[in-house]
């Protein structure tokens, strides 16, 4: 029996683990407003291994798109990440990550190394309304978490914090993929 045969029925598992990691990362937002505004940084760390596992098995266009589609479907079903812009950012960055990976080689480590940060940054779409609709977000935070928490959210609504979340998410994603490929030799051996 050939060693590198892709068992297609196992492909959904890493995708679901990716979704769970992204969703679980959101819970840190209950600790402090900074944790909410920067949840994508933790998601980039926790969701790395499932994505890399999926990408090592699925060596064609679609791994990032499927991960982002799962997040979008979950958001639709749960009422999270409201608004078309949120889903467009999440799904758009998933597709863009597949374009990056295809350009660098779907079966290469380099392709995964540069595609994953794009996918990870897309998770900012979950909370993009924090920056695009500040008053709406503030009012929602007051009703859900209280005025003190909402005031903390208000302090994070500057463009500098959006840029900070994007940059930190990308950095953590790159370091996470690099570490994942160094630690999990089995996955690394499946990529050129």
pLDDT, one tens digit per residue, over 160-170 is 999 999 999 99
pLDDT score of 93: 97
Mean pLDDT to the nearest integer, 134-159: 93
pLDDT score of 10: 57
With residue 57 as reference, give the H or E element that holds it. Answer: helix 48-57
pTM: 0.89
Domain segments of the chain: what residues? 29-190
Tokens of 83: 């608004």
Q: How many Cα neighbours within 13 Å face the side chain of 103?
A: 9
pLDDT score of 190: 81
Which of 8 and 17 is assigned the larger pLDDT?
Answer: 17
Tokens of 179: 């570490």
User: What is the pLDDT confidence band of residue 124, given thresholds at 50, 70 and 90?
Assistant: very high
| Res 176 pLDDT > 90 | yes
User: What is the pLDDT confidence band of residue 108, given thresholds at 50, 70 and 90?
Assistant: very high
For residue range 70-96, what is the model confidence (pLDDT) as tens digits? 999 999 998 887 789 999 999 999 999
User: Cβ neighbours of residue 74 under 8 Å, at least 6 residues apart?
Assistant: 19, 23, 80
What mean pLDDT value characterizes the chain? 90
User: Cβ neighbours of residue 68 under 8 Å, at least 6 residues apart?
Assistant: 90, 91, 93, 94, 95, 97, 119, 122
For residue range 38-67, what is the model confidence (pLDDT) as tens digits? 999 999 999 999 999 999 988 889 899 999
For residue range 1-13, what is the model confidence (pLDDT) as tens digits? 445 445 555 568 8
């Amino acid at each position: 029996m050939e060693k590198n045969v892709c068992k297609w029925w196992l492909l959904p598992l890493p995708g679901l683990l990716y979704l769970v990691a992204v969703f679980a990362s959101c819970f840190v937002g209950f600790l402090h407003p900074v944790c909410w505004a920067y949840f994508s940084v933790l998601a980039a760390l926790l969701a790395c291994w499932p994505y890399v596992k999926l990408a090592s098995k699925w060596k064609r266009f679609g791994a990032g798109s499927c991960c982002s589609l799962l997040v979008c479907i979950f958001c639709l079903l749960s009422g999270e990440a409201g608004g078309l812009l949120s889903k467009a950012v999440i799904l758009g960055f998933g597709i863009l990550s597949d374009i990056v990976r295809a350009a660098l080689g779907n079966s290469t480590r380099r392709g995964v190394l540069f595609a994953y940060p794009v996918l990870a940054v897309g998770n900012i779409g979950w909370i993009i309304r924090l920056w695009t609709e500040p008053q709406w977000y503030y009012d929602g935070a007051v009703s859900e978490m209280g005025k003190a928490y909402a005031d903390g959210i208000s302090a994070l609504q500057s463009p500098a914090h959006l840029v900070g979340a994007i940059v930190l998410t990308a950095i953590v994603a790159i370091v996470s993929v690099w570490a994942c490929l160094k630690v999990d030799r089995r996955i690394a051996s499946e990529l050129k």
